[in-house]
Chains A and B, each alone.
Chain A
Amino acid sequence: IAGITQAPTSQILAAGRRMTLRCTQDMRHNAMYWYRQDLGLGLRLIHYSNTAGTTGKGEVPDGYSVSRANTDDFPLTLASAVPSQTSVYFCASSAQGGSYNEQFFGPGTRLTVL
């Protein structure tokens, strides 16, 4: 069982370019999330999806978009990358419903925008 996988592992991107970060989970979790991790700022929620077909904005959604066409996949797209989007991006998932559901995290994607 792979859990959550992310691709690519790392990427260097020119400013203005479009980039899609991929996230796939095989745990049949309904809820999925995208976070960015920055030194001194912790983890901040970008977008989330409670179930396939629905998405919502998190704390820092500007410059990012997501889609949830099916249960397993939750891609994050940067339409026109800017240097401030240099960060480590983590995808996570959790079972929907009930209290205290644990979020499971992917290995992360390190993105550098030049």
Chain B
Amino acid sequence: AQRVTQPEKLLSVFKGAPVELKCNYSYSGSPELFWYVQYSRQRLQLLLRHISRESIKGFTADLNKGETSFHLKKPFAQEEDSAMYYCALRRYGNNRLAFGKGNQVVVIP
């Protein structure tokens, strides 16, 4: 079975400081990795997917199969980045997502 681990529940950073959210997974096959974000009073939405290799709102995430990680990074945090972030994994060819427990990020002005 696949599993997603996000070790820190709460992360507080100052505005302008770098932020990194860790995500490790366990899955023996070829995973599909995602980061979802939930801003206050808004619905959950997709932030990044590993296949796209893109930067969204300044965030990037690289899939490291050797370390089974998909950490989310942003070099300079902004106040609007305060949100709950979830890492998620999907087995190839399967629709269902397995979510981590989430990281609450608070950006201090």
Interface residue ranges, A against B (CB under 8 Å): 31, 33, 35, 40-45, 48, 50, 58-59, 90, 92, 94, 96, 99-103, 105-108
Please determine whether A43 and B95 come into contact, CB atoms closer than 8 angstroms.
Answer: no
Which residues does chain B contribute within 8 Å of A35, judged by CB atoms?
99
Please determine whether B32 and A99 come into contact, CB atoms closer than 8 angstroms.
Answer: yes
Known: A31-B95, A94-B95, A96-B95. A102 touches B101 (CB 8 A): no
Known: A43-B86, A99-B32. A108 touches B99 (CB 8 A): no
Which residues does chain A contribute within 8 Å of B96, judged by CB atoms?
33, 45, 48, 58
Please determine whether A101 and B43 come into contact, CB atoms closer than 8 angstroms.
Answer: no
Please determine whether B95 and A42 come into contact, CB atoms closer than 8 angstroms.
Answer: no
Please determine whether B102 and A42 come into contact, CB atoms closer than 8 angstroms.
Answer: yes
Please determine whether B49 and A105 come into contact, CB atoms closer than 8 angstroms.
Answer: no
Which residue of chain B has its CB nearest to the CB of A90? B44
Which residue of chain A has its CB nearest to the CB of B95? A31
Please determine whether A107 and B95 come into contact, CB atoms closer than 8 angstroms.
Answer: no
Cα–Cα distance between A58 and B100 once the two chains are bound (Å): 15
The contact sample of 14 A-B pairs, CB cut-off 8 A, is A33-B96, A40-B9, A42-B99, A44-B99, A45-B97, A45-B98, A48-B95, A48-B96, A92-B44, A100-B49, A101-B95, A102-B49, A103-B46, A105-B45
Which residue of chain A has its CB nearest to the CB of B30? A99
Please determine whether B93 and A99 come into contact, CB atoms closer than 8 angstroms.
Answer: yes
Cα–Cα distance between A43 and B101 once the two chains are bound (Å): 7
Please determine whether A42 and B100 come into contact, CB atoms closer than 8 angstroms.
Answer: yes
Which residues does chain A contribute within 8 Å of B46, judged by CB atoms?
102-103
Shortest distance from the beta carbon of B81 to any chain A beta carbon, whole Å: 19
Which residues does chain A contribute within 8 Å of B44, judged by CB atoms?
43, 90, 92, 105
Which residues does chain A contribute within 8 Å of B92, judged by CB atoms?
99
Cα–Cα distance between A102 and B88 once the two chains are bound (Å): 11
A-contact 0/1 string along B53-89, CB 8 Å cutoff: 0000000000000000000000000000000001000
Cα–Cα distance between A99 and B51 once the two chains are bound (Å): 10
Which residue of chain B has its CB nearest to the CB of A43? B99
